[in-house]
Structure 1
């Protein structure tokens, strides 16, 4: 693949009838994708029973002025590891650009900045991530697993989690109700 074919900065949507029920109606921000594999953070499903202040308390941080937002189920890999997807108006030493969509930070610095009211203007937190080995995601995409949408910032930051799957399809000009949950072979 060429660098233009990699999916970093795009939104990966589970196709209807996806082979893995754990990812039904899944919406993932693709943070890293290269010849070594891929890492995406789920933004379409809320992690039940955990809110932002709970995470800060667990880490021994004062929530300060931070809003007590819901936390996303980022994926099945390392479900205790936190990630902040955020606007590019804040950056720390470990911040990764997820161009053109957002940035990704996973340090205590971003949590402290949000608690102090000095963090990014737009953000959400997820626990866990989805990971693919070299060539794995490409194989899944060939077998009716995923659709790679453009990175729609309004879906990420201005759409409630339960509406992100449908909103991303609509932003792509596709009515998800018209999608088949089966594939064929030509």
Structure 2
């Protein structure tokens, strides 16, 4: 493995190159939350779980919820830790176990934020995600060097205001 020096992809979208054969990542937009010498962590933000709703997830977790979560979409963040529950969200950022990704974005995976979301007391903007995408040391650097991904800065509009089916195309328009 070659030691490539790349800038951190934290705070960037990784966009699957057109025609990527890997079904886990074909036509995906991945929000990168960490990238350093130890590896990288990101979350696919344009794949909705085909069956699971917010109500079912909160029931499975034993979290009391109101009707606002009945049809809440749950996203599939990647093939790593598929049962792990994560929240990408806007302010406030005072939840337990939060990682700041950008001035306007954090990643949390603590019960307190889920309990707040379940009763409409959480952040105004959020995505609940199962699983993540992970890369070992230098793995993402090598993939970037081999042009396996396109990149652009993360966008609050794409994350929280763009419909799931349009996120990939809208992110691609940021590049071209």
The 1:100–1:9 alpha-carbon spacing in structure 2 relative to 1, beyond 3 Å, is farther
Cα offsets for 1:58-96 (capped at 9, x unmatched): 011111254331111100011111111000224212111
The 1:62–1:34 alpha-carbon spacing in structure 2 relative to 1, beyond 3 Å, is same
The answer for unaligned runs of 5 or more in structure 1 is 175-186
Q: Which moved more, 1:127-136 or 1:115-124?
A: 115-124
* Pick aligned residue for 1:52 from 51, 54, 57: 54
Q: Which moved more, 1:104-113 or 1:58-67?
A: 58-67
Deviation (angstroms), 1:169: 1.2
Task: Spell out the pairing of 1:1-186 with structure 2 (5 A cutoff).
Answer: 1=5, 5-64=7-66, 66-67=68-69, 68-100=71-103, 102-172=105-175, 174=176
Q: TM-score, normalised by structure 2?
A: 0.91
How far apart, in 2, do the equivalents of 1:159 and 1:16 lie? 20
RMSD of aligned Cα (Å) = 1.5
Q: Secondary structure at the match of 2:106?
A: strand
Q: Secondary structure at the match of 2:122?
A: coil
Q: Secondary structure at the match of 1:44?
A: coil
The 1:32–1:55 alpha-carbon spacing in structure 2 relative to 1, beyond 3 Å, is same
Deviation (angstroms), 1:144: 2.6
User: How many residues are paired up?
Assistant: 171
Deviation (angstroms), 1:100: 3.9
The answer for unaligned runs of 5 or more in structure 2 is none
Q: TM-score, normalised by structure 1?
A: 0.86
How far apart, in 2, do the equivalents of 1:101 and 1:138 lie? 26
Structure 1: 4+ residue segments shifted above 6 A? none
Q: Secondary structure at the match of 1:141?
A: helix
